[in-house]
Amino acid sequence: MAISTSVRHLRALIAVAEAGSTAGAARALNLSQPSVSVALRELEAILGRDLFQRLPARGLVPTEFGLRKLAEARRLAALLAGFEATADDGGEAAGHVAFGYFSTLGPQYVPAILRRVAAHYPGVSVSIHEGDLDGLNRLVAAGRIELALTYDVEIGPGLEAEVVGELRPYVLLPAGHRLAVRQAVTVEDLAAEPFVLVDLPLSREFLLSPFRAAGIEPRIAHRATSLEMVFGLVANGLGVSLLITRREGARAYDGKRVVRRPLAGSAMRQGVVIIGPADQPRTAPARALAACIRAELAGA
């Protein structure tokens, strides 16, 4: 008897794509790894094409055909979840969505976004994935996540971006620093100080661009990959910094204070965007998540 596509096959395809491995998919589905592998082989036999290729250091990555089938599987899974949902579960907006966010944006916005999803779309579950700008491009392109909240910086080919917010750069100084008495601070002022750089792919180039536009190179004293470390280093008088991402409060973890000042003479703005595949319609859960992101960023 010929095998036909089942919900088991769709769930295996989605889980393997999001985890990047059959072992990770098995953990997500609470199944054994062999059962996931069998479901994947059966689905490839039904469709007559390979859905994944194994790449060094990246695990299982969907083929071009696999990406198309993954998008279809997500839409079918969302339709099934909507069919099974009661009115109290949020109606048609039900099912799962994999969501990525830029590491320094996450603490400011993502918890409130998830709270909003839970309040307005209780039938939608969201798995979250943190990454840097380049990494999020790759995760969306590989189908591991459907949407990402990130900055409008070098969006990858095949992806589309929707602007949902705009931020201005600001200078971060230790409390009591000589520049703290200024209404605004120039890049020339910063060039004379030890500088703490957010050292993440693409982020570092963007944050260095105001200096290079003025023909200046900052004196980089420390590099950090988290906003909290930047705040801690600056608060302890180990340098100054230039940032885009906002963070509430004026104290580092150890209680030492920082102050913020505008960057003088700069028209630089940074768009905050939702990115997703350009050629695939969003599922109902992804549309619900995007609506919550817009609402939260509008309020911010």
**Number of structural domains, the chain?**
3
The DSSP letter of residue 88 is: G
Three-state DSSP at 156 gives: coil
* Same-domain pairing of 109 and 120: yes
CATH number at residue 22: 1.10.10.10
* Same-domain pairing of 100 and 127: yes
Alpha-carbon gap, residue 123 to 82, rounded angstroms: 8
* Same-domain pairing of 175 and 260: yes
CATH number at residue 238: 3.40.190.10
- Domain assignment of residue 68, yes or no: no
CA distances from 129 to 16, 28, 122, 144, 226 (A): 15, 14, 20, 9, 16
Residue 32 sits at the vertex; the CA angle it makes with 29 and 35, to the nearest 5 degrees, is 95
Helical spans, DSSP H, in the chain: 7-19, 22-29, 33-47, 64-84, 106-120, 133-141, 187-191, 203-213, 227-235, 284-299
Q: What is the pLDDT tens value at each position of the chain, 300 positions in all?
A: 456 678 899 999 999 999 999 999 999 999 999 999 999 999 999 999 999 988 887 788 999 999 999 999 999 988 888 787 765 554 568 899 999 999 888 888 999 999 999 999 999 999 999 998 889 999 999 999 999 999 998 898 899 999 999 988 899 999 999 999 999 999 999 999 999 999 988 788 888 988 998 899 999 999 999 889 999 999 999 999 999 887 777 888 888 999 999 999 777 788 999 999 998 889 999 999 999 999 999 976
Q: How far is CA 235 from the centre of its chain?
A: 27
Alpha-carbon gap, residue 107 to 247, rounded angstroms: 8
Domain span including residue 13: 1-62
